[in-house]
Structure 1
Amino acid sequence: MTLAPGATSETTPGTTPAGPTAATAAVTAAAAVTEAAAVTEAYLSDPRLADAVRETVYPPAFQECWGARMLSRPLFTDRPELSRAAADVQDLFALLASLPQRLFDGDTARYCDALGIAPDRAGVIDRFATAPGRATRYGRADLYHDGSAFKLLEFNIASDLGGTDRSQMQRALLTHPAFADFAAEHGLDHVHTGERIAVALREAALPLTRGVREPRVGLVCAPGGLAAFGHLLLAFAEMMRDLGLPLTLGELDTLTDQGGRLRLDGDPVDVVLRFFTVDDLCAVPSSAARAELAFRAHEEGRAVLWTPMDSSLYSNKGALALLSDPATAFTPAERALTDRLLPWTRLLADGPPTPGPTPGETVTDLLSFCREHRTQLLLKPLRDFGGTGVIPGWERDPDDWARLLQDRMADATGPLTGLGNRWIVQRRVLPRTEPVLDPDTGARTPWVAAWGLFLTPQGYAGTDVRAAPASASAVVNYGSNPLTRTTGVFTVG
């Protein structure tokens, strides 16, 4: 589930306690001075804004969830650059959704086998596999900015997205008098992700509501989900209710079908906002039986499942390896898109020679290549999320890295079970750093930002950021790195 424990993570460049590497510093120093950089400097130099984040009043559930984990400043980015990245991400989504048909003649079972999705999971997914180009466009692309452009790290295409409530921070900051003046002076703008989700859910429910009433939304998680993720879900529910959408939180074991009407904890439901996963259903038969009520209601037009289970076809990290692989037949424009946005990515498996990450380079033995380029690569499991299982090569000694590669390569030849056992190897991205001011000491330190760019069927739907000190850890993740903070994004220009 992409929400738990709060967001996906990605590795930062290799760092030491003394600070970012020389390579990262060079990336930062080489970045052109943009309008957003000038606004950043103006923000950091304005004493009225030093404590604006802590002085702002936030919605209660949002404050409870994120109050102690907010970065001391929002981030700024140039609107044209973010717009280009958003357009690229939308085009990449279309490419992802085309892969089963383009590479496997629409055979979902073959596609799932290639990506390490076990047969029981594939069976659930195949039931909802859509015609080419019909996949629900809803997800979050996680990116780094390398000093010249945004680069994609992973694409979370699912209904159980984390970070959708973070735009509450931007909205609240605009009520702070000093920040409101600063925003007006510099023409700051933002897209509120919650508003875009509300539009998407209303449009999805139109066959039921006819546009004469608000859809009743049931956010449904697996048993135990409310206890585990309640603070996150309550912040999201607060936001959606404030936007006028009636929303009930519940778990699968409270989902019922009474008189042809789907209900969650007794409340009628038009839209099932799905926070349970294929893995939840395959692990617990009783959960699968309850989910079947929502599946049938969706198929019979009595409710809307948001989103159907086929999202797992595209969020699997192995799909990125298929996009990166030059053997995949793309048009020149499509190949330019993947080259522009996606770092070099390959499935960790035996195969024919393949182009390497450097132009003109050929990799004849992938395992040997990975051993030799340890400090430039990381391993990622295809199915995990939230940073689980990610292995940065630069954090391992050569012998340990070689053993890991051998073991993970062997995994690829074993039978598919459970979450799957396939891996990708990906070239790391050296992100630029963002200056952050400590309001208590006045010290500036470099932080690494992971940008989460949201999409709905209507298009770009806002951006959130997870950030961590460049010197603290190789993972930007709320669960494993307690120094990770969240913040909002404003565009400039």
Structure 2
Amino acid sequence: MRLLSRGYVDECLNGNEGLRDAVARAGLPPAFDTAWRRHLLPRPWFVRAAEIRAFARDLEGLFELLVSLPERLFDGDHGRYAAELGIAPRHAALLRRSADGSPAKLGRADAYHDGGGYRLLEFNLGSEVGGLDMAVCNEALLGVGEFADFAAAHGLGHVDTAALLAEDLRERARPALPGGGREPVIGLVEGNGAVGPYGRLMRAFQEAMAAQGLDLRIGEVGQLRTRADGKLTLDGAPLDLVLRNFGASQLLDDPAGPEVAEELFRAHEAGRTVLFTSLESGLYAHKNALGLLSDPRWTGAFDAAERALVDRVLPWSRPLGGAGGAGLLDECRERREQLILKPGGGHGGLDTFVGWECTDAEWREALDGAAGRGGYLVQERVVPRSEPVHDPASGTSDEWIAALGVFLTSHGYAGAHARANRVDGGAIVGMSSNPDTRMACVFSHP
């Protein structure tokens, strides 16, 4: 896609002011504008349509492998499986409490393109993943005449993630709508105290769902109440579905969390208010699950085609502090410049150590601490290819790299977005860790 990106930048440099300022001029909906405008890259990211769809098919296969791990490797013993990942027993019990045997296929895979193909960095599963509303930006850009002309000339297209998710929500809410005949009322529910810091993002998503015809109410778990008939309410409004925007750790950190969780589970089991997604997703979103897929101890559990899939998609990844022992730790110390260390249950790049950005002493300390605590994944560095981006403010172009977020729903591939940094801006480990990271919508080229 470098050739298309170069063509886009050249048009900007050669005086196409409408294309140059397309992102700034795009008529974004108000809540999305407030949440994301200042974080947007000055242009969208481009991908090859066939390549991104092939990668998404591989991700679907990888999803099936992940959810089969307890059965394949631990004879169906989820307790042993969770212990291998480094999940504490109380945490694991909460994740299993809402399990219904069929984890929802909803998530976002973060990947780099290394010039030869996409390589998976992590696979975030569950309804709390971010960026599900980013296609709003695609639609806004297509409303800018100069960009619309560029898109038409190059056959650009995109997938509306929000539209596909809305279909899933309607389908999932159906058991709580006996007789049907109306749209579901959905609660987008965060942990207690979390609407404050995340409210602007939640309101942007609410806005995107409203555009799909869905009534979505924002609240926190402590605001939920149970009616006499077992249905949950939020500020008095009966909810047909709770769209979970919190993790199990938030419930465990909250003294009232376990009691609230039981109300959610009971309403779901009674078919009065559907919980989507279940906390069970956290068993497979844990980064150490990826380590089990590539750990040589478990090679015999996968057939040749499955091993080929893992090798094609996943860089070298190992759980640290488990059965790998001192030999793995020594190898990781020696390979500092080729490795990154991540907490298996972390998010947003927090508590992540980038080996090639650490000193030897910092890296050794990080490894020793992670090995002692357990629950960490060490992964081989993927060097992403760069693409040019024009900066309207300076009038110059620089090289940028992007981590692509590829969405899956029950429909399969459900679109993508990108988080981008300048090539000299360091690894892309999360916007909370690097305020210079920018978001971009993604267009595919045939």
TM-score clears 0.5: yes
Aligned partner of 2:321 among 315, 337, 349: 349
Give unmatched runs, 5+ long, in structure 1: 1-35, 354-363, 413-421
**Does the alignment pair 1:111 with 2:81?**
yes
Match of 1:294 in 2: 264
Distance 2:77 2:97 in 1: 12
Question: Are the equivalent residues in 1 in contact too, given 2:341–2:352 (CA < 8 A)?
Answer: yes
Contact between 1:205 and 1:270, CA under 8 Å: does it hold in 2? yes
In structure 2, what is the equivalent of residue 5 of structure 1?
none
Structure 2 counterparts to residues 228-267 of structure 1, below 5 A = 228-260=197-229, 261-267=231-237
Q: Which residue of 2 aligns with 1:176?
A: 144
Contact 2:98 2:265 in 1 (8 A): no
Equivalent pair of 1:112/1:313 in contact (CA under 8 Å): yes
| 1:370 alignment counterpart | 332
From 140, 143, 147, the equivalent of 2:111 is 143
DSSP-derived class of the 2:296 partner: coil
Letter in 2 for 1:147: G
Aligned residue number for residue 360 of structure 1: none
- Quick check: 1:479 aligned with 2:444? no
Superposition RMSD on alpha carbons, in Å?
1.5
Partner of 2:390: 437
Quote the residue 2:444 is aligned against: 491
Please state which structure has a larger fraction of its residues in helix. Answer: 2
CA distance in 1, matches of 2:369, 2:418: 34
C-alpha offsets along residues 222-245 of structure 1, whole Å, 9 cap, x if unaligned? 111111101100100011011100
Distance in 2, Cα, partners of 1:403 & 1:489: 38
Cα separation, partners in 2 of 1:273 and 1:352, compared to 1, 3 Å? closer
SS at match of 1:366: helix
The Cα of 1:151 is off from its aligned counterpart by: 0.4
Q: CA deviation at 1:185?
A: 1.5
The answer (yes or no) to whether the contact 1:468–1:476 under 8 Å persists in 2 is no
In structure 2, give the amino acid aligned to 1:37: R
Query: Matched residues in 2 for 1:317 and 1:397: separation?
Result: 24
SS at match of 2:232: strand
Aligned residue number for residue 133 of structure 2 = 165
What's the CA shift string for 1:48-76, capped at 9, x where partnerless?
A: 31111101110000001111111000011
What's the CA shift for 1:397? Answer: 2.0
Deviations 1:3-37 (A, max 9, x none): xxxxxxxxxxxxxxxxxxxxxxxxxxxxxxxxx33
Which residue of structure 1 lines up, in the alignment, with residue 412 of structure 2? 459
* Matches of 2:429 and 2:99, distance apart in 1: 33
Match of 2:94 in 1: 124
1:58 equivalenced with 2:58 (yes/no):
no
Cα offsets for 1:267-289 (capped at 9, x unmatched): 11101001122112212231322
1:162-220 Cα deviation digits (max 9, x unpaired): 11111110011111111111111211110011101101101111223355211111111
> Secondary structure of 1:285's match?
coil
Q: Are residue 386 (structure 1) and residue 358 (structure 2) matched?
A: no
> 1:185 maps to what in 2?
153
Unaligned 5+ segments in structure 2 are: none
Task: Name the CA shift for 1:250/1:392 in 2 (closer, same or farther; >3 Å).
Answer: same
Q: 1:225 aligns with which of 190, 194, 200?
A: 194
Q: Deviations over 1:234-272 (max 9, x none)?
A: 100011011100110011111011132211121111010
Q: Provide the residue aligned with 1:424 in structure 2.
A: 377
Contact 1:436 1:446 in 2 (8 A): yes
Contact 1:165 1:239 in 2 (8 A): yes
Letter paired with 1:401: W
Supply the distance in 2 between the matched residues of 1:49 and 1:230 (Cα, whole angstroms): 32
With 381-390 and 468-477 compared, the bigger mean Cα shift is at 468-477
Q: 1:331: which partner in 2?
A: 303
Distance 2:224 2:391 in 1: 47
Following the alignment from structure 1 to structure 2, what is the Cα–Cα distance between the partners of residues 408 and 488?
35
1:154 aligned partner, one-letter code: E
Deviation at 1:123, TM superposition (A): 1.1
The aligned counterpart of 1:98 is 68
Counterpart residue number, 2:162:
194
What is aligned with 2:368? Answer: 406
Secondary structure at the aligned position of 1:205 is classed as helix
Counterpart CA distance in 2 for 1:108 and 1:439 is 53
Q: Do residues 39 (structure 1) and 1 (structure 2) align?
A: no
**2:184/2:215 contact within 8 Å kept:** yes
Q: TM-score normalised to the size of structure 1?
A: 0.86
Q: 2:423 aligns with which of 470, 476, 488?
A: 470
Query: Which whole-Å CA distance do the structure 1 matches of 2:305 and 2:419 have between them?
Result: 31
Q: Match of 2:139, SS? A: helix
Tell me the distance in 2 between the aligned counterparts of 1:434 and 1:80: 19
SS of match in other structure, 1:111 = helix
CA pair 352-477 structure 1, distance change in 2 beyond 3 A: closer
Alpha-carbon separation, structure 2, partners of 1:130 and 1:435: 46
The share of aligned pairs that are identical, in percent, is 46
- Alpha carbons of 1:263 and 1:337: their partners in 2 closer, same or farther (altered >3 Å)? same
Match of 1:321 in 2: 291
CA contact (8 A) 2:352 2:429 kept: no
Tell me the distance in 2 between the aligned counterparts of 1:294 and 1:129: 13
Gap change, CA 1:430 and 1:310, over 3 Å in 2: same
Q: 1:380 and 1:402 mapped to 2: Cα distance?
A: 14
Task: Point out the more displaced range, 441-450 or 65-74.
Answer: 441-450
